[in-house]
A and B are shown apart, each in its own frame.
Chain A
């Protein structure tokens, strides 16, 4: 038994135990329609759900720790190092703090919507993990429409963000919520088109099929010109979708206090925080699946490979946070509508064109076409200097 399927073996043993041990034990009390097969199905589902519900929050907890450590080092600081060894207990201390804080609801706010928003933002961000393949056969639900399911569910969070802003009855919350909706709806389009490029080449929406199509030494889609550009578009759009710096306008404190979660405190605020990291992590998992060959990789077992690739992408997000200042609203909208969207459409075209060409000329034609488009799209996106604006006004 290789390390590759040790987890599958454990799960099969547990499911087998449900049939051989649990069923004979519970048979007298269970109703007749529960057959051993149904019990096994149930046990399998419970094991998948519980392992996701344990591993993802655990990874998220240490993601917050890692982010503070990494961003600290980028600014030549130490980061948290007081609570526990290397500050490893910091997430627990933060969680205790969150849970013990007072829960305040604005007096004139909508209490029910105010309560539902953090719940509604958290549920879809956890549900999307069902279609992420953590290794060969290590997927909670291998849906035929995996990518569609992921994108559809992750866009539900937009609604929760707007609910939070609306229910708070606070101008800053409301403005932050509106900005969040505008931003997330705009960036949804390049994000989906970048994913569509991959779906188009593979011919399947199933995440497992997408990973299977990326076998071989340079089989990862990111080594194709259209794959690289689709990945870059996906990376930018994903950063904006997860409301992370430099696209963290919905919570830009210099203008909107804390955006849509201004009026949230205690664990309700903590749930927004959780959801932000859950969705960032899920998007990184999806990017690793779509463009970096998922669990495919030499030597190491698959589940280590996908975590490795995901954490490299998460590190890139930390690097963004450590490097870039927050963009302006008009820059944000201009970037997606005037740059990302045309580039994404060109990538779709190039991916379709090179599908009918032999590999090497296809690679060259794709690279030339996409680089050309990149430079052409720079022209309408030039920075408007004061001199140029003055010329425009004169004409």
Chain B
């Protein structure tokens, strides 16, 4: 009434204007490429395949559960065959189509062997397209220590399990030695 509301509003705006120069907490804008907020540990980027730091072997046993869980059918994988012609319980090819993947994380939830995890890499934009959007095993594999780095919580939860599965699946003769380590951890 009587124009006082106008003055009150102008005072509030003026205070915002002045205080933004000496109160840093007022300016919430993050100057993105130079300045970044830390990503939350459970941030969902694209999934990646975990391999053990020691052996370098993928945890994946090519069970196809992730491909079946994927609503966008962006995962395709085939099982490798061993020298004896029997299925070798490791993937021969594993392709993730970035154009289809919607980063839902259902593949990670479906994986019984904790062989998949969600990456923190989200800056996938490129100016041209030097490589296809379908990533193979070589581009998807990351060490377990990388998962410990980006998401320690998930890494802790997954740590004991892979030792058993990877050992059981891949290196059956060496089970005893790995089994010993499993008990200690």
- Of chain B, the residue at the smallest CB distance from A382 is B1
Q: In the assembled complex, which residues on chain B have CB atoms less than 8 Å from the CB atom of A14?
A: none
Q: In the assembled complex, which residues on chain B have CB atoms less than 8 Å from the CB atom of A70?
A: 17
Q: Is A319 interfacial (CB-CB < 8 Å)?
A: yes
Q: In the assembled complex, which residues on chain A have CB atoms less than 8 Å from the CB atom of B29?
A: 76-78
CB distance from A267 to the nearest CB of B (A): 30
- Sort chain A's interface into a size bin: 10 to 19
Q: How far is the CA of A324 from the CA of B20 in the complex (A)?
A: 20
A to B contact number (C-beta, < 8 Å) = 40
Q: In the assembled complex, which residues on chain A have CB atoms less than 8 Å from the CB atom of B28?
A: 76
Most buried by A among B1, B17, B21, B31: B17
Give the number of residues in B that approach A within 8 Å (Cβ atoms): 17
Main secondary structure of the interface of A (DSSP, over half): helix
Contact yes or no, B9 A323, CB < 8 A: yes
Contact yes or no, B27 A322, CB < 8 A: no
- Of chain B, the residue at the smallest CB distance from A320 is B10
Interface residues of B in 8-34 (CB under 8 A from A): 9-10, 12-14, 16-17, 20-21, 26-29, 31
Neighbour of B27 across the interface among A77, A319, A378, CB < 8 A: A77
Q: Is A375 interfacial (CB-CB < 8 Å)?
A: yes
CB distance from A97 to the nearest CB of B (A): 21
Main secondary structure of the interface of B (DSSP, over half): helix
Q: Is B127 interfacial (CB-CB < 8 Å)?
A: no
Q: How far is the CA of A76 from the CA of B30 in the complex (A)?
A: 12
CB distance from B5 to the nearest CB of A (A): 10
Neighbour of A74 across the interface among B1, B17, B27, B31, CB < 8 A: B17
Contact yes or no, A73 B20, CB < 8 A: yes
| Additional A-B contact list (15), CB under 8 Å, known A319-B17, A323-B6, A324-B6 | A73-B17, A73-B21, A74-B17, A76-B26, A77-B27, A77-B29, A78-B29, A78-B31, A320-B10, A323-B9, A323-B10, A323-B12, A323-B13, A324-B9, A374-B2
List 13 A-B residue pairs with CB atoms under 8 Å apart, sorted by A's residue number: A70-B17, A74-B17, A76-B16, A76-B26, A76-B28, A77-B27, A78-B29, A78-B31, A319-B14, A320-B10, A323-B9, A324-B9, A378-B1
